Amino acid sequence: MTIMYEVGLNDSPMSIARKLTGNPRQHVELLAANPHKPIVYVRGIPTFASLGVGERLNVPSGFVGAFEALEKLASKKEAETAALVADVTAKREAYRTGTPEYRAQIDEQWRTRRKSGPFEIFKAAGATIEDIGEAIVSVPVLGDLTRIIGDVYTA
């Protein structure tokens, strides 16, 4: 059974190998699995002479196990991200609907913890923790999201 990959916009052998295995250097295996495609060397690196959107490429058998492992990792990260976003949303809602005393307490904790950095800049510009909470939900990178949650929402 041959597994095929459909080329997308801006795909290259290295980007395809990175998507499927996490290692762009395995692009040479992708080149070898497609002997019908002419190869050229760009700055000493082999690549396909041409690659069109929608074109189908043979995927090396070694890529399949790596791809499945990456899919599992990606779904785990998506679940972690969803849980973190839900936590941020709940804390933001608690702040938004909280009593003035509760909000003042959270604001004071926030001021005490943040002495410098981007959030201090936002605060100095008049942003409230609620405004910044809106921005946090849109942060796409899990590491940054975790760091921001730790900095802003923990006592």
Q: 75: number of CA atoms within 13 Å, CB side?
A: 5
| pLDDT of 37 over the 80 cut | yes
Q: Is the dihedral of CA 33, 37, 42, 44 positive or negative?
A: positive
Q: Supply the pLDDT for residue 155.
A: 41
- The closest of 134, 136, 154 to 144, measured between CA atoms, is 136
Higher-pLDDT residue of 143 and 84 is 84
Mean per-residue pLDDT, 126-130: 62
- Could you tell me if 60 and 47 are in contact, meaning their C-beta atoms sit under 8 angstroms apart? no
How far is 22 from 32, CA to CA, in rounded Å?
18
pLDDT tens figures, 47-67: 999 999 999 998 887 776 655
The reported pTM is: 0.44
Domain residue spans of the chain: 3-59, 74-153
Percentage of the chain beyond pLDDT 90 is: 19
Give the model's confidence band at 119: pLDDT under 50 very low, under 70 low, under 90 confident, else very high: low
Q: What is the pLDDT of residues 75-109, one digit of tens each?
A: 666 677 666 666 767 777 777 787 888 878 777 76
